[in-house]
Amino acid sequence: MQVYATKPFSQETWDHVWRDEPVGNEVLVKLDTKNYPIVLTDKGTVTDEWLIVFRGGLQIDLYSRAMGHIMTADWLQDLHPENPAGGHYFWLDKRAFGPTDNPRWPAGSCVRFNTNGALLMPWIIRSVQPHTGKQLGRDGAALCLRGNTSELV
């Protein structure tokens, strides 16, 4: 499996419904992911839906559909929310938001995108072989983790 992010889209307001296409009027300004792509790694990226809401000035709020409010920040610095399990959920260069000396993002506008991570839930299976004799030793278990991932940068 490979990690990837969907193409971000912007809209004037957030209607509190998670959709994969814009609703209502789009904002004229766009997130510049062509020159400053969203950077993902196998270690920190999870499969989730993300929302960046512009609160006015340079302040933004970051939300995850699965985890709720992640952080409040400003876009004078790179946006890289830390994954408590290690790494970052994603890394977005501050220049993707546009020039900071002339902020063009209207208050209340938002950007939506999704990420797909390489981490899968582990499966634990126990198999017991039937036999007629008594158990002579202790019961035990062994875990074997298998997987194959590659990193896109």
Tens digits of per-residue pLDDT, 95-151? 999 887 767 889 999 999 999 998 655 566 666 777 777 777 777 777 666 655 555
> 36 vs 1, 39, 93, 98, CA distance in Å?
23, 9, 6, 10
Structural domain contains residue 145: no
Chain-centre distance of CA 152, in angstroms? 14
Asked, for residue 126, whether it belongs to a domain, the answer is no
pLDDT for 153 equals 47
The pLDDT, as a whole number, for residue 122 is 59
The residue range of the domain holding 101 is: 1-120
Whether residue 36 is contained in a domain is answered as yes
pLDDT tens digits for 48-90?
999 999 998 889 999 999 999 999 999 889 999 999 888 899 9
pTM above 0.85, yes or no: no
- Which residue, among 54, 52, 43, 40, has the nearest Cα to 91 in the 3D structure? 40
Number of folded domains in the chain? 1
Is the Cβ–Cβ distance between 92 and 35 less than 8 Å?
no
